[in-house]
Amino acid sequence: MDVVSAYVDQRPESDLSGNKADLHGFTIYPTIAEALRRGSDKLAVDAVLLIGEHGDYPDNEKGQKLYPRYEFFEQIVDVFRKDGRALPVFNDKHLSYSFTKAKRMVEASRELKFPFLAGSSLPVTFRIPPVELPLNCQIEDALMVGIGGSDAMDFHALEAMQCMVERRRGGETGVKAVQLIEGDQVWQAGRDGRWSRRLLEGALARSDSRSGIGLTDGRPQDLAHSGELEELVENPAAYFIEYNDGFRATLLMLNGAVQDFTFAARVRGLSKVQSVQFLLPPQPNVTYSACLMSKVEEMIVTGQAPFPVERTLLVSGMLERCLESRIGGHRRLVTPELNVSYRAPRGSQFCGALA
């Protein structure tokens, strides 16, 4: 597959798009419509990649970077409507900082009947070990451990968690309520049983990073009970997600204790905690991006998205509402608008999957 045209919204001195265009023989156009039509009066490409990342864009009061993904998408769809033909579209990472805008994007793809794929690379990167939860299993509890800032890295962590829990019995039913708490409240919530120390131990056991007691015994899972997490993590955050079917899951952001993304769950009928690391190979060998692009290529070739865009729609809304909880005094927020239902794909979609 070849890149044949591009639109670049911002071109600072460090921009490489001009050099890449010269090297690979594609043209950079001044508007999205011209890039899609390649200087003609009709669509002249086979698919569209919408990458809204980096750049100098403002933040809102929730701490969200206001990337104009929705606005770019609207311009793409406008060309589809005018030219009477729609193409596969891939949107990198969350659909929008606004669930309302994200929902409109999905609705437009349904109306015009074009394949639409979006999301993080974490659900499709390599896993250590290559674990997939059985489709239609009964998940009793789930916990994700993530790192990084908001609203970038918590999106990745939430979507990684979602790609696991969506495989539960009955399929995805949507989210009833969310709450984000921070600081000492996180540790108190653990003592109160709102999140599981046993699952935290299982998730940490898959970490390749070492801190605290793990530096001496090589067992990062021991951090779950050693009392050192409170010292290592300066500002912990817990994202509590309550689903419409009664299931609950928790994301813990533990900057300072670990340097990777891990997950653990209790599944009825399985004696051991199911746990996994979502592998992010170090730079410059960022093969997780190649894993994601392989899924984009699959969509373009087959005309079918390999996993539902509704996953990213739901996670986009979960994150926005969690951030609203944070700035609103860490209150629990009821979320009837997140009534997003879908079924997980039957086959595993991550790189290196055994089946």
End-to-end Cα distance, the chain: 27
- pLDDT value at 218 more than 70: no
The count of other CB atoms within 10 Å of the CB of residue 2 is 7
Residues 6+ apart with CB under 8 A from 72: 9, 32, 50, 52
Report the half-sphere exposure of 72 (CA within 13 A, side-chain side): 24
Could you give the percent of the chain with pLDDT greater than 90? 87
Query: Is the C-alpha dihedral spanning 192, 194, 199, 200 positive or negative?
Result: negative
- pLDDT value at 213 more than 70: no
Candidate from 69-73, 147-151, 159-163 with smallest mean pLDDT: 147-151
- pLDDT value at 214 more than 70: no
Tokens of 322: 């969690």
Q: In what order do the strands lie in the sheet with 248-253?
A: 127-128, 274-278, 261-267, 139-146, 248-253, 237-243, 175-182, 333-334
Tokens of 54: 């980096």
3-state secondary structure 64-128: CECCCHHHHHHHHHHHHHHHCCCCCEEEEECCCCCHHHHHHHHHHHHHHCCCEEEECCHHHCCEE
According to the model, what pLDDT value does residue 288 have?
86
Q: Can you tell me the mean pLDDT for 127-136?
A: 96
- pLDDT value at 338 more than 70: yes
According to the model, what pLDDT value does residue 215 have?
61
- pLDDT value at 323 more than 70: yes
Domain layout of the chain by residue ranges:
5-122+285-305, 124-278
The answer to whether the 5-122+285-305 and 124-278 domains have the same CATH topology is no
According to the model, what pLDDT value does residue 285 have?
72
Tokens of 267: 């599944």
pLDDT digits (tens, 9 = 90+) for 264-312: 999 999 999 999 999 988 777 778 889 999 999 999 999 999 999 999 9
pLDDT digits (tens, 9 = 90+) for 168-206: 999 999 999 999 999 999 999 999 999 999 999 999 999
- pLDDT value at 216 more than 70: no
pLDDT digits (tens, 9 = 90+) for 2-49: 999 999 999 999 999 999 999 999 999 999 999 999 999 999 999 999
As a whole number, the mean pLDDT across the chain is 94
The count of other CB atoms within 10 Å of the CB of residue 251 is 28
According to the model, what pLDDT value does residue 260 have?
93
Query: How many angstroms separate the CA atoms of 354 and 93, rounded?
Result: 26
Pick the CATH number of 5-122+285-305 from 2.10.109.10, 3.90.1010.10, 3.40.50.410, 3.40.50.720: 3.40.50.720
Report the topology of domain 124-278.
Answer: Dihydrodipicolinate Reductase; domain 2 (3.30.360)
CA 240, chain centre distance (Å): 16
When pLDDT is cut at 50, 70 and 90, the band that residue 217 belongs to is: low
Q: Tokens 């290592």 identify what position?
A: 232
- pLDDT value at 220 more than 90: no
Could you give the percent of the chain with pLDDT greater than 70? 97
Backbone angles phi, psi at 91, to 5 degrees: -115, 120
pTM of the model: 0.95
